[in-house]
Structure formats: structure tokens, C-alpha cells
Amino acid sequence: MPENQGGSVSSASLPGGASAKRPLVIVLGVLGVLAVILGIVFMVATGLPHFLTAGSHVHSASGHHVIRGAVAIVVGVVLVGAAWWFSRSKSSAS
């Protein structure tokens, strides 16, 4: 039986390790950044493109766009936070 051959075990060899979470972290991060950008566009833009306001029955300039922008920013921050949380959480197996 060989003696202690080193130190750490790669998480790639463990099911549910860091490599299994990488696609989830990337998707959450990208969606979060896009949601924050969209929220900023909703907050500052006056003439939004039609595809951003499609389905909106209210065509007034300010009220609902500010609310949509705030919601998009909050969702984006939550998604980026979830990506950060999943990227730092360790596997329970040691």
C-alpha cells in the first residue's frame, strides 16, 4: 500500500464537484448581468425598442418602466448572487 502521495483530491473526480457546477454558475452569471443591464436600460431609456415593451398595455413614459427596471435589477442581483454562492460552495464529501 503506497504511503501518503500528496495532498488534495481534484473535485473533477467527485460527482457534484466544482466542474459539475460550472455550467450552472456561468448561466446564472450571464443571465444576472443581462438582467441588470436590461434594468438599467428600462430606468434610463425614454424611447424603448418595441420588443422590450411588447405586451405592455400602458404606453405612458415613466411609471411602469421604472418598476420593470427595478424588478429586473433586483432579479439580476439575485442571479449574480446565486452564481457567486454556487461557485464558492464546497462539496459535502471530503
3-state secondary structure of 91: coil
Residue 80 lies in a domain: yes
Residue 9 lies in a domain: no
Band the pLDDT of 94: cuts 50, 70, 90: very low
Looking from the CA of 78 toward its CB, the CA atoms found within 13 Å total 6
Report pLDDT digits (tens) over 17-66: 567 788 999 999 999 999 999 898 888 876 666 666 666 655 555 567 78
For the chain, the domain total comes to 1
* Range list of H helices, the chain: 18-44, 50-53, 63-88
Band the pLDDT of 79: cuts 50, 70, 90: very high
Report pLDDT digits (tens) over 54-71: 666 555 555 677 888 899
Q: Which residues lie closer than 8 Å to 78 by C-beta, 6 or more apart?
A: 32
Residue 23 lies in a domain: no
Q: Which residues lie closer than 8 Å to 26 by C-beta, 6 or more apart?
A: 83
Q: Which residues lie closer than 8 Å to 62 by C-beta, 6 or more apart?
A: none
Q: Domain containing 90: what range?
A: 32-50+60-94
**55-59, 71-75, 85-89, range with the lowest pLDDT:** 55-59
